[in-house]
Amino acid sequence: MARNLIAFLGLVTIAIGRAIRHPRRIRVTAVIANMERSGFNALPIVGLLSFLIGVVLAYQGVDQLTRFGAEIFSINLLAVSMLREIGVLMTAILIAGRSGSAFTAQIGTMKVNQEIDAMSTLGLDPIEVLVLPRILALVITLPLLVFYSDMLGMLGGAIALMLLLDMSPTQFLIQLNSAIPMGTFWVGIIKAPFFAFAIALIGCYEGLRVSGSAESVGRLTTQSVVEAIFLVLILDAGFSILFSSIGI
C-alpha cells in the first residue's frame, strides 16, 4: 500500500505542478464548493467541541495546580495545550472523520457508477478534476478552522478560569500575554496545511481504489478515516520532535 500511496502522491504532485504553471486549469468553482463543505459547514461542531475542551482543560488545570498553590498557571497550561497541540490535533481528527470520509465516499460512488471511466474517456484527468480541488480546499480551510478552534477553546477556558479564580478579563489577558510567546500560536497553525494535505490525499486515494460494489465504498471509507488519523498522529509526533530539537 505504501508504494501505491507514494505513486499517487507523485501523480498529485505532477497535477499541482501543472496547476502552478497554468493557473487556469484550477477548477475554482469546485475548490470553493469543497471549501464550503469541508470548512464552513464544519464550524458548529468544531466550535462546540473546542469550547468544551477549553472548559475541561481549565477545570483540570485548576484542580491539579491548586495543590501546589499555583492555580494561576492554569492559564499557561490552557494556552500551551490548546494552541500548540489540542486545537490543531482535534480539528484534524474531526475533519478526517468528516471530510476525509466524504471524499472517499464521493469519489468511490463515482467509481462504482463508472463516472470516472467516462471522465477518462472524455480526456479529463480524474486527479485534476476530482483530487486537486479537494486537496486545495482542505489545505486552505484547515488552518482557518484551527484558528477558529483555538479561539473558541481559549474562550471556553477563559470563562471557566475567570469563574474559578475570580479574576477579571483584563487580569486573564495580562497573565496570558506573559505566559506564552506568539510562536506558540504559530506552532499549531503551521501544522494545519500538512495535516490537511495528508487527510485529503488519503481520502481521495482510497476513493479511487473502490471496486465495483457498494460494500467496497463502505469498507474503504472506514479505512480512509483510520489511515488519515494514523498519518496525522505520525506527522504530529514528527513535528513535536522537530520543534523540540530546534527549541521552538
Q: What mean pLDDT is predicted for residues 50-55? A: 93
Residue 8: inside a domain: no
- Separation between Cα atoms, residue 17 and residue 172, nearest integer Å: 47
Residue 7: inside a domain: no
Residue 74: inside a domain: yes
Give residue 140's pLDDT: 93
Residue 13: inside a domain: no
Q: Report yes or no: 210 and 193 within 8 Å, Cβ to Cβ.
A: no
For the entire predicted model, the pTM comes to 0.90
Q: Which domain holds residue 111?
A: 32-242
Give residue 5's pLDDT: 84
Residue 14: inside a domain: no
Name the nearest CA neighbour of 205 among 225, 233, 185.
225
Give residue 1's pLDDT: 67
Residue 12: inside a domain: no
Residue 141: inside a domain: yes
Q: What mean pLDDT is predicted for residues 80-86? A: 88
Q: What mean pLDDT is predicted for residues 148-176? A: 89
Reported in sequence order, the residue ranges of the chain that DSSP labels E, i.e. its strands, are none
Name the nearest CA neighbour of 131 among 112, 113, 104.
104
CA neighbours within 13 Å on the CB side: how many for 172? Answer: 22
Give residue 119's pLDDT: 83
Rounded to the nearest 5 degrees, what angle is found at the Cα of 158, between the Cα atoms of 154 and 164?
Answer: 145
Mean pLDDT value across the chain: 88
Higher local confidence (pLDDT), 155 or 119: 155
- Residue 51 burial (10 A CB sphere; 0-12, 13-18, 19+): buried
Confidence of residue 8 (pLDDT cuts 50, 70, 90): confident
As for how many domains the chain has, the answer is 1
Q: What mean pLDDT is predicted for residues 26-32? A: 88
Model confidence pLDDT, tens digit, residues 187-233: 889 999 999 999 999 999 998 888 877 788 888 888 999 999 999 99
Residue 6: inside a domain: no
Model confidence pLDDT, tens digit, residues 89-141: 999 999 999 888 999 998 888 888 888 888 888 878 888 888 999 999 999 99
